[in-house]
């Protein structure tokens, strides 16, 4: 699925400054914080989305790239903006100081994640998905088979007797300065506050089974090789916690004839000398099918023709690219005696003497017109 605009996520206009961005993120994070919305998957996703937006817009360099190129400008650059799986602990450690003071989130939620039961998350899964040029151009829904750990049917849990469901154990140490209290994750339940009560025989010690699942994936138009998409909650499950994410790495299959250049596609058209000199109607391939184009009389090698809207849809919804046809006049390498005689008779013709004037554009001039 296509990402929402980061300014839209934080409720800001394009010209928002650093203070506005920080204030907007603080407001969103407080509203959708997991400790304020326990068990609400939608709130957690909005919390992650806001963190991702802030991670990019609060960084001047990333913000500049995003303002100029959109999501493509910050993909693959690390952090949340790189399209990777969102980790709640990373968000808290990186953005905890956004609320000021040393308490971070905890000062707003009465100890929050620091003083209560910690919600654990299962591990992420990563798969590669091959897509061809037509699928890249228009988007596609694919179904893939994924083996992931899931909580088995019939598994039940009970409150951990060691931590009494808090997920933490406290230790009191007497020092010269008095008693010091430290807290750590409960070793019996791993910080979840629950332990397995009953489980079927075919489940492992954690109550999990390895199960194959068919998962539909919507690939948006405009994705590129190496891009990473994320499906929340489709990774490995974990008892007493939330499932990890499924990370889909795009692997773009090269087309036999067309070459991709951003949202444009490029086709090398080879024509014979006669067609270039006299003009012709020639059939050329596009992403979808084939179309006929008109080659004007006197077409020079290196001329670039454009087919509007025959390229790839933009990932951020900004229109569609074009197909650029690069004309190459083919010079025959072998000629019959009769062919040689015909060409020799034309060698001294005034019309066959190269005479490029200022009106003839160089290759670089032609490229500047299109790019």
How confident is the model over 265-307, as pLDDT tens digits? 999 999 999 999 999 999 999 999 999 999 999 999 999 999 9
Query: Residue 184: beta bridge partners?
Result: 169
Residues 134 and 164 in one domain: no
List, as residue ranges, the binding site.
Answer: 160, 163, 186, 189
Q: Are 227 and 128 members of one domain?
A: yes
Do residues 148 and 166 share a domain? no
Same structural domain for residues 212 and 176? no
Residue 191's domain comprises 156-198
In total, how many domains does the chain have? 4
The CATH code of the domain that includes 291 is 2.60.260.20
Q: Which residues contact 162 (CB under 8 A, 6 or more apart)?
A: 169, 186, 187, 188, 189
Q: Is 225 in the same domain as 338?
A: no
For the chain, what is the radius of gyration of the CA atoms?
31
Structure-model confidence comparison of residues 250 and 40, the more confident one? 250
β-strand pairing of 323-330 with 304-307: antiparallel
pLDDT, tens digit, 9 for 90 and up, residues 210-222: 999 999 999 999 9
- Tell me the average pLDDT across 352-370: 65
For residue 138, name the pLDDT band (cuts at 50, 70, 90): very high
Residue 236, domain member (yes or no): yes
The candidate with the shortest Cα–Cα distance to 263, out of 190, 338, 349, 323, is 323
223 and 188 assigned to the same domain: no
Per-residue pLDDT, averaged over 8-27, amounts to 88
The answer to whether residue 203 sits within a structural domain is no
Q: What residue numbers does the annotated binding site for Zn(2+) cover? A: 160, 163, 186, 189
The pTM assigned to this predicted structure is 0.59
Predicted confidence (pLDDT) per residue in 145-181, tens digit: 999 999 898 888 888 888 888 888 888 877 766 677 7
Claim to verify: residue 124 and residue 144 sit in the same structural domain: yes
* Residues whose CB is less than 8 angstroms from the CB of residue 301 and which lie 6 or more positions away in sequence, other chains included: 276, 327, 328, 329
Q: Within this chain, do residues 315 and 327 fall inside the same structural domain, yes or no?
A: yes
DSSP assignment string, 305-325: EEETT-S-B-TTS--B--EEE
């Amino acid at each position: 699925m296509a990402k929402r605009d980061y300014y839209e996520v934080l409720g800001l206009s394009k010209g928002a400054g650093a203070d506005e961005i920080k204030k907007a993120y603080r407001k969103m994070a407080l509203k959708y914080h997991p400790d304020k919305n326990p068990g609400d998957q939608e709130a957690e996703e909005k919390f992650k989305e806001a963190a991702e937006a802030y991670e990019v817009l609060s960084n001047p360099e990333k913000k500049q790239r995003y303002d100029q190129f959109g999501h493509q400008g910050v993909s693959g650059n690390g952090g949340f903006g790189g399209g990777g799986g969102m980790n709640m602990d990373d968000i808290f450690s990186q953005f905890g100081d956004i609320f000021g003071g040393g308490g971070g989130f905890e000062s707003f939620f009465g100890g929050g994640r620091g003083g209560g039961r910690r919600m654990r998350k299962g591990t992420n899964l990563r798969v590669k998905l091959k897509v061809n040029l037509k699928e890249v151009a228009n988007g596609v829904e694919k179904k893939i088979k994924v083996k992931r750990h899931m909580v088995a049917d019939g598994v039940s849990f009970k409150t951990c007797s060691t931590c009494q469901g808090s997920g933490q154990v406290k230790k009191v140490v007497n020092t010269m300065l008095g008693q010091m209290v430290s807290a750590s994750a409960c070793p019996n339940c791993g910080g979840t506050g629950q332990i397995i009560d009953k489980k079927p025989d075919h489940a492992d010690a954690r109550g999990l089974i390895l199960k194959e699942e068919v998962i539909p994936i919507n690939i948006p138009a405009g994705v590129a090789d190496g891009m990473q998409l994320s499906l929340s909650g489709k990774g490995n499950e974990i008892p007493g916690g939330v499932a990890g994410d499924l990370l889909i790495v795009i692997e773009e299959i090269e087309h036999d004839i067309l070459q991709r250049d951003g949202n444009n596609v490029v086709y090398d058209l080879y024509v014979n000398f006669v067609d270039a000199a006299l003009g012709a109607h020639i059939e050329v391939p596009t992403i979808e099918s084939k179309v006929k184009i008109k080659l004007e009389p006197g077409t020079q090698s290196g001329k670039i023709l454009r087919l509007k809207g025959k390229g790839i849809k933009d990932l951020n919804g900004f229109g569609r690219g074009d197909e650029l046809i690069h004309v190459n006049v083919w010079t025959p390498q072998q000629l019959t005696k009769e062919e040689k005689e015909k060409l020799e008779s034309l060698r001294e013709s005034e019309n066959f003497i190269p005479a490029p004037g200022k009106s003839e554009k160089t290759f670089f001039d032609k490229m500047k017109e299109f790019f």
